Structure 1
């Protein structure tokens, strides 16, 4: 999955989505992810849904002759014509605190002092409570079947609007057997529906347990990797045989990378290339390709927050996406190893497809500010294949690979090399 996250509050009404879909398709994305489109409660947060069967008034064009549902169906039909599938956030761990559901079906909610409880999390030892949300009680509700049937109807409503998949918000907070049943029963009627589990902040074991419910993908934490620690590879190896994962250099929940790296384009390219080629899936939010600096906000963002481009990474992203599409080794969670190298500022990563004979070597300058020197007597010693390596790097690719191999890597630059083994790995 090569996913472009179109943040609806920045894109505006459904009728204005087409240019964004077109740009995403031109860059080689095949999926669009849209954050929640249903009607929010008093807080205005996209993730605080007050009515699951009405659309967010901010996304509806009041002057259109089409009904709100017809407007979004028309937008999704446009994406379909461009060869794009669209997934939407599925938020069924909680709803808006001011939803009628809390009064009509109190048994569906975790109760606290006589009313629906708010979800919370612990951050640095402090309890953070979301006062605008009410927590569904999937685990112990006295009306589990009623709550389940309601969630099924939500999914079916979104599928009938034209969505083809779901990013399941806070998936790890809903019991696996409930996800398993929902995924299984939806697919009986809508066989090609994709389900992605949002598992950020989980331990690798929690991620593994969530993935086992039948999700197509989970999201990994490579965004926070410093190219050095052992934890990312440990997490990757633990989960990779259960579900493939999606990497992202930034998301709607994080600061903008362009802001974090102080406008360093080399760092932007380095992070996108790594995210795209590390795991089976990759995702960027709208504006990443233009170096937007302002963080997306689930309440306050508006179309007027669209920024003038600070950079233009469209061509680079298009080239990287083409590499990803062309080689199977970059489309699966396959055996992946960080190889030792004497210069700590250079990452040497080996990947071998378990499905085909593809093998890949990525040599990446971790330093986005300075050149770093790389030398190898024979690059062939890093791979298992007998066939020669071929340089398919998005920039500065070599016609042939010399022996010995000696190169002064530009800031953040990466070599991407592929070859083919004689035999599949055991």
Structure 2
């Protein structure tokens, strides 16, 4: 899965999405993920949904002769014509505190004294953050969990009817495993091609594994934050890779913009995109990453007027990396991944071995996004445990696939990588 995150508040009204969808297709993505599109509560947060069966009016064209649902279907039809499939957020851990559901079905909510409970999280420093604009659904102990489950199934069916073919399940780890097993199983009986991706960031490794085992087609990983050295990322990956594929990202709507974080270094942007794309079977990036946007996406405050003038244009590089994922199965599969030692500590050596077709890959990455680093190997075939060919993005399509000489030496540009594969013939 190569996913482009179109953030609705930045993209504007549905008819204005066209150039963004066309750009996603041209960049080599095969999925477009959109954050919630339903009517919101008084806080205006995208994740505070007041009505699951009506469309956020700020996304609609007021002069369109089409009804709201038909406007969405026109967009999804156009997206499919571009060769893309659409994924949307499924938010069923909570709803807006002012949603009519709170009055109509008080039995569906966790209670806190005389009112409904609000979701919360505990930060690393021990601070408790409460989302007062949200009401917490009770999927575990409520008197009518069956009725609530059926309601959630109807939400999914509604969104499928609008043309969505996949779901990013917000706060998936907060809901019990049996809920997801039943819901995913029911939907796949009726719509076998539907995909479910679990948001698992911020939870423990045990919670991630438990959630992944509920039948999800993929989970998100934490490759964005890896320091290219510590063992935790490969440990987490090994714990789940046989259960569900994972998706990496260089930034998301929940993080700061990488261009701002990296002191406006385009080499750091390329480095992290290439790594997250080739480390795991899936990759996702948000709208504006390709242009080095600095302003963080905000679930309440972002507006179309926040569109920025491009500071850089990484389109060609992103397209090349995405094409490498398409062309070489090892990069859209999960497999055993090992970090190898090297004399230069500023160079990462990562070896992947497919458990499906015997293919292998070696990524030689400059960890330093500011300075060149030298890499030398007497024979790359000893590192890859197979005869390598080079498929690095900077080679261009006309030179990819050339055999690699021994010994091999290269000065790696800041943050850049050389990529090698070995694939079974025929």
TM-score (norm 2): 0.97
Partner of 1:402: 405
CA contact (8 A) 1:38 1:53 kept: yes
Partner of 1:135: 136
Q: 3-state DSSP class of the match of 2:394?
A: coil
CA contact (8 A) 1:384 1:421 kept: no
Note the C-alpha offset of 1:421. Answer: 5.5
Taking the aligned partners of 2:381 and 2:61, their CA distance within structure 1 comes to 59
Taking the aligned partners of 2:98 and 2:403, their CA distance within structure 1 comes to 64
Partner of 2:27: 27
TM-score (norm 1): 0.97
Q: 3-state DSSP class of the match of 1:17?
A: helix
Of residues 44-53 and 375-384 in structure 1, the stretch that sits farther from structure 2 once superposed is 375-384
CA contact (8 A) 1:245 1:281 kept: yes
Matching of residue 36 in structure 1 with residue 36 in structure 2 = yes
Taking the aligned partners of 2:22 and 2:53, their CA distance within structure 1 comes to 28
Taking the aligned partners of 2:359 and 2:318, their CA distance within structure 1 comes to 22
Note the C-alpha offset of 1:401. Answer: 2.3
Note the C-alpha offset of 1:191. Answer: 1.1
Note the C-alpha offset of 1:15. Answer: 1.1
Q: 3-state DSSP class of the match of 1:268?
A: helix
Note the C-alpha offset of 1:409. Answer: 1.1
Taking the aligned partners of 1:413 and 1:20, their CA distance within structure 2 comes to 27
Taking the aligned partners of 1:410 and 1:157, their CA distance within structure 2 comes to 49
Mapping of residues 324-339 of structure 1, within 5 Å: 324-339=325-340
Taking the aligned partners of 1:82 and 1:410, their CA distance within structure 2 comes to 35
Taking the aligned partners of 1:109 and 1:373, their CA distance within structure 2 comes to 59
Taking the aligned partners of 1:282 and 1:420, their CA distance within structure 2 comes to 22
Note the C-alpha offset of 1:400. Answer: 4.5
Note the C-alpha offset of 1:420. Answer: 2.7
Deviating runs (4+, > 6 A) in structure 1?
none
Root mean square deviation of aligned Cα: 1.2
Partner of 1:88: 88
CA contact (8 A) 1:32 1:86 kept: yes
Note the C-alpha offset of 1:190. Answer: 1.0
Partner of 1:254: 255
Note the C-alpha offset of 1:16. Answer: 1.2
Q: 3-state DSSP class of the match of 1:128?
A: strand
Note the C-alpha offset of 1:354. Answer: 1.2
Count of aligned residue pairs for this structure pair: 421
Q: 3-state DSSP class of the match of 2:215?
A: coil
Where does the alignment leave 5 or more consecutive residues of structure 1 unmatched? none
Taking the aligned partners of 1:378 and 1:384, their CA distance within structure 2 comes to 10
Matching of residue 107 in structure 1 with residue 110 in structure 2 = no
Where does the alignment leave 5 or more consecutive residues of structure 2 unmatched? none
Mapping of residues 168-183 of structure 1, within 5 Å: 168-183=169-184
CA contact (8 A) 1:289 1:317 kept: yes
Partner of 1:389: 388
Mapping of residues 18-417 of structure 1, within 5 Å: 18-123=18-123, 124-385=125-386, 388-396=387-395, 399-417=402-420
Q: 3-state DSSP class of the match of 1:402?
A: coil
